[in-house]
Amino acid sequence: MRIAACQMVSRTSIEENVKTARSLIISAAESGAELVVLPEYFSLMPKEGKDLLKAAETYGDGPVQKAMSETAKEAQIWLVAGTIPLKADDDKHFVDACIVYNPNGEVAARYDKIHLFQFERGAERYREDEITQAGKEVKSVNIETWEGLWKVGLSVCFDLRFPELFRKLDTPDIITLPAAFTTFTGRAHWDTLVRARAIENQCYVLACAQGGQHESGRQTWGHSILIDPWGATVAELTQGEGVLLAEVYDKRIKQAREILPALKSRAI
């Protein structure tokens, strides 16, 4: 199956970001991708957290959700729509939600980001828990393509640092990770963590990132990447906006699990 990651450098305009996302998705689909992933915060990289609160949509209703549903249907692809801010249980928080659309434009799954980013280094500070409502359930989705059935595990950004979450996905074929890693943490840990999650779960990991200097002042690492079940890099971007295209093979997953049956050998 051919899959794609649409790396972005999202702006403060939702309309512009959705237009860019749509263009990248269509480009990926025209190149044969059947599964397409967008980065975290693809529709809005705000100057202030409160802008995400203002942009939060009611689940099942809103311009960003409508645009992604229509684009998935038009392109006839499975779309992991990065994350979209949704209304939370109170007006002081939003939900960082990863919504998966099928080729009919229907919602096939929704995963709410569980682990919320905390970071402080000089003037650079992030406390997602101040305005983000954490999710509670791990989620995966079965997608049907011309090549057969694939189990896709869902995760978002900071989740990457918590291997126990991925174990609960119950041996997916592919793990998708929309992300917006900072340049500082990305340079130090991104490649190692993505590679580790692929090796220990013996599956493909497609990490789709924000990558560049944003209007908001934030600098993100980029380096969207696909790692195979043996830990090898299949394809990678660096910085800026673009489409990473690559192919995944079910026989590669089976081969890794047969040569080294680590998942069957788990004792705890």
26-50 tens-digit pLDDT: 999 999 999 999 999 999 999 988 9
| Rounded CA separation 205/262 (Å) | 17
| Rounded CA separation 248/119 (Å) | 34
145-203 tens-digit pLDDT: 988 999 999 999 999 999 999 999 999 999 999 999 999 999 999 999 999 999 999 99
Provide the phi-psi class of 122: left if phi over 0, else alpha when psi is between -120 and 50, else beta. left
Active-site option among 113, 139, 203, 208: 113
pLDDT at 146: 85
11 and 214 Cβ atoms separated by less than 8 Å? yes
Distances 110 to 83, 154, 209 between C-alpha atoms, Å: 10, 9, 19
Residue 247 bears catalytic tag: no
What six digits make up the tokens of 81? 């729509």
Residue 151 bears catalytic tag: no
240 and 230 Cβ atoms separated by less than 8 Å? no
Tell me the pLDDT of the chain averaged across its residues. 97
Taken in order 149, 102, 193, 116, the sign of the CA dihedral is: negative
What six digits make up the tokens of 80? 């992991």
The widest CA-to-CA distance across the chain, in whole angstroms, is 51
Q: Which structural domains are found in the chain, ordered by start?
A: 2-259 (3.60.110.10)
pLDDT at 147: 83
pLDDT at 245: 98
pLDDT at 123: 83
Among 95, 134, 101, residue whose Cα is nearest residue 22 = 101
The whole-angstrom distance between residue 73's C-alpha and the CA centroid of its chain comes to: 19
Residue 144 bears catalytic tag: no
Active-site option among 34, 98, 128, 157: 157
Report the share of the chain in percent with pLDDT over 70: 100
Among 204, 258, 193, 196, residue whose Cα is nearest residue 234 = 204
pLDDT at 126: 86
Active-site option among 6, 34, 40, 98: 40
Provide the phi-psi class of 149: left if phi over 0, else alpha when psi is between -120 and 50, else beta. beta
7 and 42 Cβ atoms separated by less than 8 Å? no
